[in-house]
Amino acid sequence: MKLSLSVRVAESFTNKEKISVPFAHLIALARQYQMNAMCMRASVAGIQTPVEVVRDYRQQLNAAGLPVSMVTGDFAVPVNGDAGPDCLRWITPYLDLAREFNATLIRVCMKVEEDIYWAQRAADEAKERGIRLAHQSHCASMFESPENSLRVLKKVNRDNFGLIYEAANWFVAGERYGPDAIEMIRPYLFNVYVQNHRLNPNGQAKLDTWKRGVVGVDHIGIWEKDGVNYDQVLSTLAKAGYSGYVTIHQAFAGVMPLEESIRRSVEYLRRF
């Protein structure tokens, strides 16, 4: 497994449109903690960003020896609302962005059955350019459970369309997320996100799910107990021979200082 740092760590939980520190500082932290790559989002650079700015960021990443593990090209995809799947209907600028970053994986969004057709079309266009598409195992989406994720992946039926496995969302939705779920989706596993929550009806954050309605959570580190059992998750991935990226994806604002949270996350992940 290779470690990737998402720029999400410098976003607030509720605002996905900007980061709280300069991008150069995130690059420095990624180098300091010997990350293998960075995961880019529109809060730093997306399809709305002038190409000369994107190229400047790419040069900074190149100088730091950091490839881009994945791009999320707009704000609508991580917000996971009705506009999220629009990317599938006009995938070309997202492919252009990925190429500027020399990335081969793009995160997308799907909400309704009709999106399956557009996912197929987008995947076909992406394949012509050597790029893969992936959907996060996200609450309130067609990927809220492992069973429906597998159903949708089979219906899309494209070898360059897969899953970003993120255990915390399935945990919050009350779905299984451990060894059985990992085995189920393993042929489609393109990336892994890690973040953690503790269920709390009076928690600091509220997450929408289709299965359980609004769920209250507290944000906790991946090394902490009472949330996702990451000892089990990461051991299972290691035993399964997963060799792709494990991306630190948690928005740490309100949890602990940014550098401390990255350091503790890396220390924990390196055990696996």
DSSP 53-73: HHHHHHHHHHHHT--EEEEE-
What does the DSSP 8-state code read for residue 141?
S
Q: Please, are residues 28 and 21 in contact by the beta-carbon 8 Å criterion?
A: no
Considering only CA atoms, which of 166, 226, 223, 169 is closest in space to residue 39?
A: 166
Q: Which H or E element spans position 82?
A: none
User: What distance in Å separates the CA atoms of residue 133 and residue 116, rounded to the nearest whole number?
Assistant: 13
Average pLDDT, the chain: 96
What pLDDT does residue 204 have? Answer: 82
What does the DSSP 8-state code read for residue 200?
-
Tally the C-alpha atoms within 13 A of residue 10's C-alpha that lie toward its C-beta. Answer: 23
Q: Alpha helices, DSSP H only, in the chain? A: 23-32, 51-64, 76-79, 86-89, 92-100, 114-128, 146-156, 167-172, 179-185, 230-239, 258-269
Query: Strand, helix or coil at 104?
Result: coil
8-12, 78-82, 158-162: range with lowest mean pLDDT: 8-12
Q: Please, are residues 200 and 218 in contact by the beta-carbon 8 Å criterion?
A: yes
Query: Does 256 or 200 have the greater pLDDT score?
Result: 200
Q: Please, are residues 49 and 71 in contact by the beta-carbon 8 Å criterion?
A: no
**Per-residue burial over 77-102, b = 16 or more CB atoms within 10 Å of its CB, e = otherwise:** bbebeeebbebbeebeebbebbebbe
CATH number at residue 230: 3.20.20.150
Q: Which H or E element spans position 75?
A: none
What pLDDT does residue 41 have? Answer: 97
What pLDDT does residue 14 have? Answer: 73
Query: Can you give the residue range of the structural domain that contains 225?
Result: 2-269
Mean pLDDT of 238-244: 95
User: What distance in Å separates the CA atoms of residue 260 and residue 256, rounded to the nearest whole number?
Assistant: 7
Mean pLDDT of 200-218: 94
Total number of domains constituting the chain: 1
What pLDDT does residue 87 have? Answer: 98
90-106 tens-digit pLDDT: 999 999 999 999 999 99
Please say if the pLDDT value at position 163 is more than 90.
yes
